[in-house]
Amino acid sequence: MGPVAYDCMKVVVIRSGTAVLFSEFGQKPIRPGDVLLLAPNTL
């Protein structure tokens, strides 16, 4: 049996527009040129 992945990550590059990232640490503005690394169960 080969390797098994239980979690996944997503890399998001903001090309245009804006967004607001919400977490238990507060809100962070996201702008063009920012790169996000999203993963489950991580703080």
Q: Which residues contact 8 (CB under 8 A, 6 or more apart)?
A: 39, 40
The confidence score (pLDDT) of residue 39 equals 78
What burial class does residue 33 get, using C-beta atoms within 10 Å of its C-beta: 0-12 exposed, 13-18 middle, 19+ buried? exposed
**Bigger pLDDT: 9 or 17?**
17
Q: How confident is the model at residue 11 (pLDDT cuts 50, 70, 90)?
A: confident
Mean pLDDT on 3-28: 83
Residue 29 has pLDDT above 90, yes or no: yes
Q: What is the chain's mean pLDDT, rounded?
A: 82
**CA 40 to CA 43: how far, in whole Å?**
9
CB neighbours (10 Å) of residue 1?
3
Residue 4 has pLDDT above 70, yes or no: no
